[in-house]
Chain A
Amino acid sequence: MTATELSYIRAVNEALKWSLETFPEAIVLGEDVALPNGPFGATKGLHAQFGDRVIDTPISESAMIGTALGAAVSGLRPVVEIMYADFLLVAMDQIVNQVANTRYVSGGELVPRLTIRTQQGATPGSCAQHSQSLEALFAHVPGLRVGLASDAASAYAMLRAAIASDDPVMLFESRRLYPVKGQVELDAPVEDVGGARAVRTGDDITVVSWGSAVPDVLAARDSLAADGVSAAVIDLRWLSPLDLRPVLESVEHTGRLAVVHEANRTGGFGAEVVARVTETIGRELAVPPVRIAAADGRVPASPVLSQALLPGSGRIRSELAALAARPARNTRALSA
């Protein structure tokens, strides 16, 4: 296998191209995805190559997702692009009441084999309606699969896994990371949906993150390493299905857990990770776990204000350093 250097958005484009080549029943639909080549370029060249299987839709998110569902249960394999995750909220009924129920209620006779791609997060100047990180809303809903890629390789692998899956999968890409390049193995075997990845090993603390926060976590980790703190980093990648095994293994070793996400703190998926680790191996925790997340607030447009909310690498570094330095509260950890 040979790796190719691609930007995150090119990796998405390659995965879409692969799916249209691999599955004759695959279609791509969304706003501006065909003739305009996609608002962020994810669908560049696809209409030219695949014609009517790449469909420009009106700005009608409910109709788009419901149409994808009806097409899926009738034998197609739709991939829908929702331009911003914030716009998913326009189609909440179709996603939660319709898509998520279909397999269960029909006893598997109807297969909601569809992928919903979107992108999210704050970038300088993006307003409060174009900057939210909404993955926890959907990870709460049984019947949906939810994933967030943090780099080009995962963007390619996870989108292929999603499209090949028989479940409805929601992928929250990161607009901020779209230009970031990485090595992608285009001819790698297709992965299954699910699977976290231990991206760095470490002995002192365990840091769990996903999506846009992962590069910031890695930067903080490198900086901490210079101070002698060894942090393990796990990119969760999929919130559903949730693969906690590498997290539990690492926490058993380090006894210290931090979860970092760009979404705001209250009700964020970090709370779920902390709860599950605590329920499962709480006695292994030398100190209480910490969540590092955006402050609970609306995302302001001014970069001066939005930077104050978001968990950048500087804040992540200082909170991780504090976690590493905190005295252990029990003898298990002291003797470890």
Chain B
Amino acid sequence: MELAAYYQQMCTIRRFEEEAMALVQSREIAGSVHLCIGQEAIPVGACAALEAGDAVIGTYRGHGWAIARGVPLAELFAEMLGRASALNAGRGGSPYLMAPRYGFLGENSIVGAGLPMAAGAALARKLQGGRAVAVVSIGDGAMNQGAVHETLNMAAVLGLPLLLVVENNGYAEMTPATALTAVPAHERAAAYGLRGELVDGNDPAAVAQAVRALRADVLATGRPALLEAMTHRLVGHYSGDAQAYRPPGELAAARQADPITRLAALISETEADGTVAAADEAARADVLAALDLARSVPFPDPADATNGIYAEELR
């Protein structure tokens, strides 16, 4: 993928997330959201290296993964606005939306809980004889969940085509990752005999290259792999997080490494003048148009609140 294409997607995610924040503040979105501002290069780079038949599972900070997987912005907004969206008709919301028809099995709002499900998606792909993998994104904090380690071991012994992407954004919710993690994620892979790699998570091309290589390796060797992508969360853990826990200057320093401004500078060196500005404007227009469209989606019928829990409605 060209740098300009990465930039376009990353800008779209950034504008989408900024608009989501505004919608929370105006109470048009109920509750809170978890934004991936600062981490956009990871889903954009990773999804550029994946195929349609691959399964992707994200976290509650997963809007970027959904967008990178091709889920329409208007459907995402409608879901987050609690409307009868084409995705989950208001049942998933911001932190737990699912879009399997786009190869995005869904977000997960329990830390680390998407990994076992991803292992199952990998098992199915293996038994079905396909050349596809399951990719699951978790955060640095999730590396301390039992289910993650159960699954890494099981996926290793069963030889599952599973790629774990650990987005290390420096904070496990509101506590520094370094204070909570005895050994970095990519080093822990060795404990299960897996390949563990480290990548600059603010560089979409580097992420894409790493994911492409590990995906091929997973399929060739039949062994799972782990990629730790280093990044910064440039916002709070959730939309209402005042981030008083951050040391002075930390956020300003992190903004110096903002993947979007960094990529914009790189593009300006090689592309025609106005490429970046045009991409910014296109992203802004796409997001606003999508929001308009989402606002035209009706709210779900309250009478449907308990429908679809079972295959057949015989309570």
Chain A interface (Cβ within 8 Å of chain B)?
27, 52-53, 55, 57-58, 60-76, 78, 93-94, 97-98, 101, 103-111, 142-143, 145, 165-167, 194, 240-242
A107–B124 CB distance below 8 A: no
Give chain B residues whose Cβ lies under 8 Å from the Cβ of A242.
315
Query: Which 10 pairs between the two chains have the least Cβ-Cβ distance?
Result: A66-B116, A70-B120, A74-B124, A60-B150, A63-B150, A166-B311, A70-B117, A71-B120, A67-B120, A62-B147
Tell me if B120 and A69 are in contact (CB < 8 A).
yes
Asked whether any CB of chain A lies closer than 8 Å to the CB of B110, the reply is yes
Central interface residue in B97, B120, B122, by most chain A CB within 10 Å = B120
Q: How far is the CB of B92 from chain A (nearest CB, A)?
A: 5
Chain B residues closer than 8 Å to A69, beta-carbon distance: 116-117, 120
Q: Is the CB of B88 within 8 A of A105?
A: yes
Q: Is the CB of A70 within 8 A of B153?
A: no
A58-B157, A98-B116, A105-B96 given; 5 more Cβ-contact pairs under 8 Å? A62-B116, A62-B150, A63-B119, A63-B153, A76-B123
Q: How far is the CB of A75 from chain B (nearest CB, A)?
A: 6
* Cβ-based interface call for B100 (8 A): yes
B310 interface neighbour in A62, A68, A74, A167, Cβ under 8 Å: A167
Cα–Cα distance between A76 and B119 once the two chains are bound (Å): 13
Given A62-B146, A93-B110; A74-B311 close (CB under 8 Å) = no
- Report Cα–Cα, A245/B117, bound state, in Å: 38
A73 and B100 in contact (CB under 8 A), knowing A62-B116, A93-B110? yes
Complex contact B88–A66 (CB within 8 A): no
Q: Most B CB atoms within 10 A — which of A53, A68, A71?
A: A71
The answer to the question of B214 belonging to the interface, with a C-beta cut-off of 8 Å to chain A, is no
Is B284 in the interface zone, CB < 8 Å from A?
no
Residues in A whose Cβ lies below 8 Å from that of B151: 60, 62-63, 66-67
* B:263-315 near A, CB below 8 Å: 306, 308-312, 314-315
Closest to B106 in A: A106
Contacts of A97 in B (CB 8 A): 110, 113
B125 at the interface (CB under 8 A from A): yes
By beta carbon, the residue of chain B nearest A240 is B315
Interface size class of B (residues with CB under 8 A): 35 or more
Taking CB atoms, residues of chain A closer than 8 Å to B117 are: 66-67, 69-70, 73, 98
CB distance from B206 to the nearest CB of A (A): 28
- Identity of the chain B residue whose Cβ is nearest the Cβ of A142 in the assembled complex: B309
B119, B309, B315: which contacts A66 (Cβ < 8 A)?
B119
Are B98 and A70 in contact, with the CB atoms below 8 A?
no
Q: Please give, as numbers and ranges, the residues of chain B lying within 8 Å of A53 by CB-CB distance.
A: 127
Query: Is there an interface contact between B314 and A93, defined as CB atoms closer than 8 Å?
Result: no
Interface pair A75/B308, CB less than 8 Å apart: no
- Docked complex Cα distance between A103 and B105 (Å): 12
Which B residues are CB-close (under 8 A) to A74? 55, 120-121, 123-125, 128
Contact across chains for A109 and B100 when beta carbons are under 8 A apart: yes
In the complex, A55→B160 CA distance in Å? Answer: 13
**Could you say which residues of chain A place their CB within 8 Å of the CB of B306?**
142
Among residues of A, the one whose C-beta sits closest to the C-beta of B311 is A166
| Contact between chains at B92 and A165 (CB < 8 Å) | no
**Is B91 a contact of A66 with CB atoms below 8 Å?**
no
| Nearest neighbor of B115 in chain A, beta-carbon distance | A66
Instruction: With CB as the reference atom, state the residue of chain B lying closest to A112.
Output: B311
In the complex, the chain B residue whose C-beta lies closest to that of A90 is B146
Contact A93 B315 (CB under 8 A): no
The distance from the CB of B133 to the nearest CB of chain A, in whole angstroms, is 12
**Complex CA–CA separation, A67 to B312 (angstroms):** 24
Closest chain B residue to A72, Cβ basis? B120
B residues near A145, Cβ cutoff 8 Å: 310
Docked Cα-Cα span, A270 to B119, in Å, equals 38
CB-based contact A71/B123 at 8 Å: yes
Bitwise, B82-119 to A at CB < 8 A (1) or not (0) is 00000111011000111011000110101001011111
Quick check: is B219 within 8 A (CB to CB) of the other chain? no
In the complex, the answer to whether A75 meets B124 with C-beta atoms within 8 Å is yes
CA distance A106 to B88 in the complex (A): 5
Chain B residues whose C-beta falls within 8 Å of the C-beta of A60 in the assembled complex: 150-151, 153-154
Chain A CB within 8 A of B5 CB: no
Cβ contact of A241, chosen from B98, B118, B120, B315, cutoff 8 A:
B315
Q: Which residues of B contact A61 (CB under 8 A)?
A: 150
Given A57-B154, A142-B309, also A98-B55 (CB < 8 A): no
A203 smallest CB distance to B (angstroms): 30
Q: Can you report 19 residue pairs joining A to B where beta carbons are below 8 Å apart?
A: A63-B116, A63-B119, A63-B151, A66-B115, A66-B119, A69-B120, A71-B120, A74-B120, A74-B128, A93-B110, A93-B113, A97-B113, A98-B110, A103-B309, A103-B310, A106-B88, A106-B92, A109-B100, A110-B106
**Chain B contacts for A57, CB-based, 8 A:** 154, 158
B76 adjacent to chain A (CB < 8 Å) = no
Q: Are A94 and B116 in contact (CB under 8 A)?
A: yes
**Which residue in A55, A78, A105 is a CB contact (below 8 Å) of B92?**
A105
Any A CB within 8 A of the CB of B134: yes
Chain A residues with CB below 8 A from B108, complex form: 98
Whether the pair A106, B100 counts as a contact (CB closer than 8 A) is yes
Contact present for A107 and B105 (CB under 8 Å): no
Report the Cα distance A142→B127, complex, angstroms: 31
Which B residues, 127 to 162, have Cβ-Cβ distances below 8 Å to chain A?
127-128, 134, 146-147, 150-151, 153-154, 157-158
**A246 nearest CB across to chain B (Å):** 15
**Are B98's CB and A67's CB within 8 A?**
no
